[in-house]
Chains A and B, each alone.
Chain A
Amino acid sequence: MFTTGSKMFLGATTLSVVAAVVFAASQGGAVGLMSTVGLVTAVIIFAFLAGINFFTRDGNTPSMQQGVEQTSSAAQAPVGRSMWPLGAAVGIGGLIVGAVSKPVVFKVSVVVLLAAIVEWMVQGWSERASADHRYNANVRSRMLNALEFPILATIGAGAVVYAFSRVLLTANPDAGRWIFVVIGALVVTGGFLLAGGRTTPKGTVAAICTISAVALMGVGVASAISGQRTIHPHPVIDDPSQKALCLEGGEGEVDEHASQDVSLKSSVVANIYLQEDGDLVALINGYSGIEYHELTVPRSARLGVIFHNDSGEAQRLTGRFGTFPDQPEAVSCTTAVHPGKSAYLGFEIPKTNAASSTPLEFIVPGVDGATIQIVVP
């Protein structure tokens, strides 16, 4: 009855109608109006194209010929049912909705549409490749599996990874570490056992994998719904003089998102420790045991230090990197760092000390005598 092509356009028409209604109902204002106008236009165009296609039997036969709606090849029942016209319709509808709503909808629709077209084309071709249905199905798989498997695998793996990441974001950091270790260990051992037991039926393996994946995704969804754990809030140092150097107006923190667990352990100019007694010392890699109160750093090189707060209260390291002609003093600070935590402070000093009208130094504001001189030759 309905030809393949007209099915697609009918689908697109229906989707456009739905989208137009949804938009008209939900979006107010100029945007809503314009979108609705656009969608209604699309409805009209698709309906028109569907009509033409239906009338011409997809352009496969002279439309005036008698009885053609029964005899043309397009009118013959397809070998199997094809869902690709529907897919393409969803893609086209999505394109239109995406064009007036969110770009991401548009992009996804492009992918859907392309995939549907490729699948549809290859299927159409393969169904007429020979008179042997089995052979035809076979050539279809041979062409398309090369495309389908990697893409589906990527989507599957992506879903698993995404679900797992939700779990880790919800669990507290210490538990997260163990969850990671345990699941990793389970996967490895499981894989090892399955690979070792040569007789394990294929079905069992597939079932185990599917159940695990579904379980993981279930927990992932549950985690996503229950929301991320609250990331440890930063301490606030109330003394305004402490903030004066880095924070205009003394509000907020330098970096609200600093994790205070520095993973970069090496390759810094120095590890700077605020010790319990209030002394600020620098240790350099490869020369442990010597506590420096003066650091020589090359000019014009992007480098950094790690600040470790070993004192009893939250503190921040402040770097005064010089006041050079026609410029304000270059200062930067770590965020307030909890006792026992650390933070990275990067810097680049373009000129020598001699060119600066203020001292170059690391200080901890509010802690007397906590100073390390910076020498830039």
Chain B
Amino acid sequence: MAVAAFAAAVLFAGCAQDAPQDTFQPKGPNARTIDDVQRPLFYVAGIVGLIVFAVIGYSIIRFKDRGQDMPEQTHGKTWLEVTLTVIPAVILAGVAIPTVAAVFDLDDKSNECVINVTGQQWWWEYDYSGTCGGVEITQPIVTSGELVIPADTPVLLRITSRDVIHSYWIPALNGKRDAVPGRLQTLRMEADEPGIYTGQCTEFCGLSHARMRQAAVALSTADFQTWVTNQLAAYVAPEAGTLAATGEGTFVNQCSRCHQVNGLVAADGTPVLAEPDLYVVAGAAPNLTNLMTRTAIAGWTFDLLTDACREQLWNASPEEFGSLYLQGVWMNSGPDATKPVCFAEATLRDWLRDPAAMKPNYASPDQVASTGGLTRGMPNLNLTEDQIDQLIAFLLERK
């Protein structure tokens, strides 16, 4: 009895209610195409499995050794062998037809948006250009972690890697695709409705593989237009004399060698250009131009939103979702707020204080000897609390 109860408990624990990465809950046409194949197959295979187990169980019990006579021993039974070959062959052929059809379906070429997706230890970078869902993207947009796409629009991802093999996977929207260095592979995606669809790197890629997550955020076309316009808005320097203005200087000194903030200019008026190729093994660090428009950082692992606001955003109806998302950490803050209510400041503080403490990496001086000083992940910059205050003030304006 107790065993049965335990087994049942284990079994039902598998049926999580709130499971955003459930492959059996497709939220877009590509994922549905796959689901339409896998679901019937799963049921049929399940029934076949049950029958097999039942027959085995029956045989075990029925033909248990009770001292009865040895049954007659025979060799070969052609009709049985033929049957047992033909039935699986027919089943496999039956499986092959919808599978191959689905493969071709998934290759539908009507994309309306092309996005480059580049993996590295241990986060994803996206860059956009051209037009996307009818929205003109006049300058390249570079973001990380969160893939923002127009809902109800076929999107073509062009996936590659800067270091080791990773794998891009948003279960609700499509299957996975490996990101292989030196190769660029495509994956199509489309979300039915605005919302947030999570996923994670599914190819073991080193120390912080478990903290290499990602999400696709689908917005209505109008909201996507707003997002694009905001991403492309010219850089607004912090007001002179504010903490953020000091933070800008600190950022240029401490962070700009790795992180790009588009539009940032040095004291002499020349653009400040990041050179992560000189400091990071992968040759890239997240672009922070619009950091505050993301809801999580560092491989989309640590929330920039407080728990309550995160709940609110994730549970929002498709109609409300877009406007909440576009407000981001400024959600619920009211028009005149100086500090955003939803901002999980501690997350960002902790990150700046010591990234490796939150997310294991290879960035301390003794760990980078073998790579000629290049890091995997962000090093601890030994910032003072004052510098962190300034940087937070500066970064809060990158929205």
Q: At the interface, yes or no: B387 with Cβ under 8 Å from chain A?
A: no
Q: At the interface, yes or no: B21 with Cβ under 8 Å from chain A?
A: no
Contact residues in A for B277 (Cβ distance below 8 Å): 299-300, 350-351
Q: Which of A298, A350, A351, A375 has a CB less than 8 Å from the CB of B160?
A: A298
Q: Once the chains are docked, how many angstroms separate the CA of A286 from the CA of B277?
A: 30
* A-B pairs with beta carbons under 8 Å apart, 20 shown: A266-B185, A267-B183, A268-B183, A268-B184, A269-B184, A285-B184, A286-B188, A287-B111, A296-B127, A296-B140, A298-B125, A299-B277, A301-B162, A302-B182, A304-B182, A351-B273, A351-B277, A352-B260, A354-B273, A377-B129
Q: Are B142 and A300 in contact (CB under 8 A)?
A: no
Q: Are A300 and B114 in contact (CB under 8 A)?
A: no
Q: At the interface, yes or no: A68 with Cβ under 8 Å from chain B?
A: no
Q: At the interface, yes or no: B322 with Cβ under 8 Å from chain A?
A: no
A:299-325 near B, CB below 8 Å: 299-304
Q: Once the chains are docked, how many angstroms separate the CA of A43 from the CA of B195?
A: 87
Contact residues in B for A294 (Cβ distance below 8 Å): 129
A:255-285 near B, CB below 8 Å: 266-269, 284-285
Q: Which of A267, A288, A299 has a CB less than 8 Å from the CB of B284?
A: A299
Q: At the interface, yes or no: A355 with Cβ under 8 Å from chain B?
A: yes
Q: Which residue of B lies closest to A305 (CB)?
A: B184
Contact residues in A for B276 (Cβ distance below 8 Å): 300
Q: Which residue of B lies closest to A296 (CB)?
A: B129
Q: Once the chains are docked, how many angstroms separate the CA of A346 from the CA of B184?
A: 12
Q: Which residue of B lies closest to A377 (CB)?
A: B140
Q: At the interface, yes or no: B66 with Cβ under 8 Å from chain A?
A: no
Q: At the interface, yes or no: B116 with Cβ under 8 Å from chain A?
A: yes
Q: At the interface, yes or no: A216 with Cβ under 8 Å from chain B?
A: no
Q: Are A267 and B184 in contact (CB under 8 A)?
A: yes
How many Å from the CB of B125 to the closest CB on chain A? 7
Q: Once the chains are docked, how many angstroms separate the CA of A297 from the CA of B114?
A: 12
Given A287-B109, A350-B283, also A301-B158 (CB < 8 A): no
Q: Are B156 and A297 in contact (CB under 8 A)?
A: no
A:160-214 near B, CB below 8 Å: none
A:324-356 near B, CB below 8 Å: 346, 350-352, 354-355
In the complex, per-residue mask of B154-167: 1 if CB is within 8 Å of any chain A CB, else 0: 00101011100000
Chain A: how many interface residues by the 8 Å CB criterion?
A: 28
Given A267-B185, A268-B184, A286-B111, also A300-B129 (CB < 8 A): no
Q: Which of B118, B156, B182 has a CB less than 8 Å from the CB of A287?
A: B156
How many Å from the CB of B76 to the closest CB on chain A? 15
Q: Are B182 and A300 in contact (CB under 8 A)?
A: no
Q: Which residue of B lies closest to A346 (CB)?
A: B182
B:132-187 near A, CB below 8 Å: 140-142, 156, 158, 160-162, 180-186
Q: Are B283 and A288 in contact (CB under 8 A)?
A: no
Q: Once the chains are docked, how many angstroms separate the CA of A285 from the CA of B141?
A: 21
Q: At the interface, yes or no: B40 with Cβ under 8 Å from chain A?
A: no
Contact residues in B for A269 (Cβ distance below 8 Å): 158, 184
Q: Which of B129, B180, B186 has a CB less than 8 Å from the CB of A285?
A: B186
Q: Once the chains are docked, how many angstroms separate the CA of A287 from the CA of B131?
A: 13
Q: Once the chains are docked, how many angstroms separate the CA of A304 from the CA of B184?
A: 9
Q: Are B181 and A302 in contact (CB under 8 A)?
A: yes
- 3 A-B pairs closest in CB distance: A300-B283, A377-B140, A267-B183
Extra 18 A-B pairs, beta carbons < 8 Å, given A267-B183, A298-B284, A377-B129: A266-B185, A267-B185, A285-B186, A286-B107, A286-B109, A287-B111, A288-B109, A296-B127, A296-B130, A298-B116, A298-B127, A300-B277, A300-B284, A301-B161, A351-B273, A355-B275, A375-B140, A377-B127
Q: At the interface, yes or no: B282 with Cβ under 8 Å from chain A?
A: yes
Q: At the interface, yes or no: B49 with Cβ under 8 Å from chain A?
A: no
Residue in A285, A287, A301, A354 whose Cβ sees the most chain B Cβ within 10 Å: A301
Q: At the interface, yes or no: B271 with Cβ under 8 Å from chain A?
A: yes
In the complex, per-residue mask of A349-374: 1 if CB is within 8 Å of any chain B CB, else 0: 01110110000000000000000000
Q: Are A352 and B114 in contact (CB under 8 A)?
A: no
How many Å from the CB of A112 to the closest CB on chain B? 41
Q: Are A351 and B275 in contact (CB under 8 A)?
A: yes
Q: Which residue of B lies closest to A353 (CB)?
A: B140
Q: Are A300 and B127 in contact (CB under 8 A)?
A: no
Contact residues in B for A352 (Cβ distance below 8 Å): 260, 273
Contact residues in A for B142 (Cβ distance below 8 Å): 377
Contact residues in B for A351 (Cβ distance below 8 Å): 273, 275, 277
Q: Which residue of A lies closest to B282 (CB)?
A: A300
Contact residues in A for B118 (Cβ distance below 8 Å): 298, 301
How many Å from the CB of B132 to the closest CB on chain A? 12
How many Å from the CB of B270 to the closest CB on chain A? 10
Q: Which of A286, A300, A355, A377 has a CB less than 8 Å from the CB of B186?
A: A286
How many Å from the CB of A168 to the closest CB on chain B? 28
Q: Which residue of B lies closest to A300 (CB)?
A: B283
How many Å from the CB of B105 to the closest CB on chain A? 14
Contact residues in B for A266 (Cβ distance below 8 Å): 183, 185
Q: Once the chains are docked, how many angstroms separate the CA of A289 from the CA of B156?
A: 14
How many Å from the CB of B107 to the closest CB on chain A? 8
Q: Once the chains are docked, how many angstroms separate the CA of A48 from the CA of B371?
A: 57
How many Å from the CB of B391 to the closest CB on chain A? 23
Q: Are A301 and B275 in contact (CB under 8 A)?
A: no
Q: Once the chains are docked, how many angstroms separate the CA of A289 from the CA of B110?
A: 10
Contact residues in B for A268 (Cβ distance below 8 Å): 183-184
Q: Which residue of A lies closest to B139 (CB)?
A: A377
Residue in A284, A294, A299, A304 whose Cβ sees the most chain B Cβ within 10 Å: A299
Q: Are A297 and B116 in contact (CB under 8 A)?
A: yes
Q: Which of A285, A289, A296, A302 has a CB less than 8 Å from the CB of B116?
A: A296
Q: Are A301 and B181 in contact (CB under 8 A)?
A: yes
Q: Are B188 and A355 in contact (CB under 8 A)?
A: no
Contact residues in A for B282 (Cβ distance below 8 Å): 300
Q: Are B186 and A301 in contact (CB under 8 A)?
A: no
Q: Are B160 and A299 in contact (CB under 8 A)?
A: no
Contact residues in A for B273 (Cβ distance below 8 Å): 351-352, 354-355
Q: Are B109 and A303 in contact (CB under 8 A)?
A: no
Q: Once the chains are docked, how many angstroms separate the CA of A78 from the CA of B346?
A: 88
Contact residues in B for A300 (Cβ distance below 8 Å): 162, 276-277, 282-284
B:182-205 near A, CB below 8 Å: 182-186, 188
